[in-house]
Amino acid sequence: MLVSVVFEQPHRTVFGAAFKYFSYYHSFIKMRVVILSALLLLLNLGWVKAYDRETNTTRTGSKLPNIIIIMADDMGFDDLSIRGGREFLTPNIDALAFHGRLLDRLYAPAMCTPSRGALLSGKYPIHTGTQHFVISNQEPWSLKLNTTLMPEIFRAAGYSTNLVGKWHLGFARPEFTPTHRGFDYHYGYWGAYIDYYQRRSQMPDKTYIMGYDFRRNMEVECADRGVYMTDLLTNEAERVIQETAAKQQPLFLMINHLAVHTGNDNDPLQVPEEELQKFAHIKDPNHRKYAAMVSKLDQSVGRVIGALARAEQLENSIVIFYSDNGAPSVGMFANTGSNWPLKGQKNSPWEGGLRVAGAIWSPLLKARSSVFTQPIYVGDFLPTLAHAAGIELPDSLQLDGIDLWPQLSGPKEAPHVPREILHSLDDVWNVSSLLLGYWKYVNGTTLAGQYDQQLVQRELDDLDPRANRYVVEVRNSLASRALARFDQQRLTQHRMKNIMIDAKVDCGDMQRGCNALLEECLYDMSVDPCERNNLAYSEQHAEILATMRQRIKQLRAGAVPIQNLPGVAYANPTLHECTWDLFEIKKPGSVPLECDMHGIPCSAQI
């Protein structure tokens, strides 16, 4: 039997791990908090092993399950209509959740590079050197090269490993890039973002001119330029699905969309005009564009599910959809996305930046058509999916993520695994954010605290014309039509309503706020998911607060140095044929070129 990774040392000591679980037993915590926690941890591990033996659900026979991860970029927590919003609908993504499981408490680091690094490594950013900010295109650093990544593990198990879309984990040297880090194939862009049509990117630091950023493996790709990026990436994903199925090879496919991240400053929100016209009911012109961008993303999910069905691969697939972090509702790279009712946004230590939209579907899940309320971290996907594929992971990986496949694939009433999630530990900006059981600790914040509140309200007036036939729209979606044949029970309106009730976030009353620039914040997330009542000053919670501080101290002691390096002038696309290129090894041109949205390197192609 496969030994679940949760038993394999995601923490460095028993006592360190004990802090992870203590809050589930906080009624017992007195002066002997560490000793009692350690004992309870050992009991908990024994229960999980027994539970795993009873509920283990993996692949059938010798056929490895296909694994498809569809990642949105900067999508808001409340931007899935299954949550109840009706400004615009997401019937295909919702169908994935209605027929599968809504990942109600899925957490990710609050920015692109650390979030993607955590997914692929199964580790906290403090253990890969990505804990501070993101990699800007002109910076010569990457995710630590001695880190084993998910595609390497799955390729070694016989999978065809494919990345379609965004990388954003470094490209200054070849060894930083996707096909040198476990992916057999990459079609997409190396950097942070690009124009949705012309595939060019200009970093916010205007010292660096517009550069082209799109590749097929290591070569610049100019074909089909002018096709809307969401459609272009979906076209390629469909091709990969069909070709891999024909080879009868198990598929590992990541589709990392540009949507719904903004493009360049001169035209940040881009979408085909015919799609935009569908959302004339939305008054705000920017939010109207955002709604249309989400709609194109939703259609992409339906097309991917449809491609798997046509290739007869759905019956042996695990499909995950999620956003890399919360939406930037306002400020830099603002796309108007909504994290309501959570406070904060992308690049913040609050739930609005960390708790992300997500769903999973597979016929291997016993409790399909339900809400998965267990807290889950993007770093858990590596050990969880490895378990589903029957891949044993060595202790030497020292993962922070834990194996939750028994809980995901098991019955709806499966007990929660008490756990720790380090959201942020950034000693450059002096920000720490930690979930331990029910408890969340925040000390410090970003951007002088200007986004440390609920930033948007749910719109009640600009309703999508399809809102009154929401159930029909979901059941008629491409995704639902493909998935319905695997249902254990018919997806009725009543069942859909109950799932939406279970997905509702109930905020407690505002009692005592917290200014994280000046004080520590402590929240009981079981009753205060919107972070409205700071318990740090409660004498009753003094032991809990002390334990949270101690765990942060332990984690800090085990952190690796940040990998960040400053940008370099020779990265400028004007010195590399107007391309964001391997600037650490490629000799820059002697004469800077004039670079804009058109021309080289694709001047001969439209």
Q: What is the set of active-site residues?
A: 112, 168
Q: Which residue has the tokens 């950097």?
A: 191
β-partners of residue 433 are 424, 442
Contact 177, 190 (CB under 8 A): yes
CA distance 49 to 276: 51
The amino acid sitting at 491 is L
**DSSP state letters, 165-209:** EE--S--SSGGGSGGGTT-SEEEEESSS---TTT-EE--SSTTSP
Question: What would the two tokens of residue 129 be?
Answer: 């050197």
Angle between helices 33-55 and 14-21 (to 10 degrees): 80
Q: Which helix (H) or strand (E) segment is 382 a member of?
A: helix 381-388
Distance of CA 4 to the CA centre of its chain: 23
142 class by beta-carbon count within 10 Å (0-12 exposed, 13-18 middle, 19+ buried): buried
Please give the Cα distance from 113 to 203 (Å, whole number): 15
Q: Sort strands 358-361 and 317-323 into parallel, antiparallel or unpaired.
A: antiparallel
Angle between helix axes 493-502 and 91-99 (nearest 10 degrees) is 90
CA angle 376, 399, 48 (to 5 degrees): 60
Give the per-residue SS3 of 295-325: HHHHHHHHHHHHHHHHCCCHHHEEEEEEECC
Q: 518: alpha, beta or left, given left = phi > 0 and alpha = psi -120 to 50?
A: alpha
Dist. CA 162–CA 184, nearest whole Å: 6
Beta carbons within 8 Å of 267's beta carbon, 6+ residues apart:
195
Token pair listed for 448: 């002088």
**If you search the block for the tokens 């609920």, which residue do you land on?**
454
> What is the distance between the alpha carbons of residues 136 and 114, in angstroms, rounded to a whole number?
13
Q: Which of 532, 503, 405, 522 lies closest to 105, judged by CA? A: 503
d(CA 530, CA 344): 10
For the purposes of burial, counting CB atoms within 10 Å of the CB of 406, is it exposed (0-12), middle (13-18) or buried (19 or more)? buried
- Tokens 């997401």 appear where? 90
**Per DSSP, which regions of 3-158 are E strands?**
66-72, 101-103, 106-107
Specify whether the CB–CB gap between 48 and 4 falls below 8 A: yes
Closest to 426 (Cα-Cα) out of 123, 134, 133: 133
Q: From CA 434, how far away is CA 545, in angstroms rounded?
A: 11
Q: Where are the beta strands (DSSP E) in 328-467?
A: 355-356, 358-361, 370-372, 376-377, 420-426, 431-436, 439-443
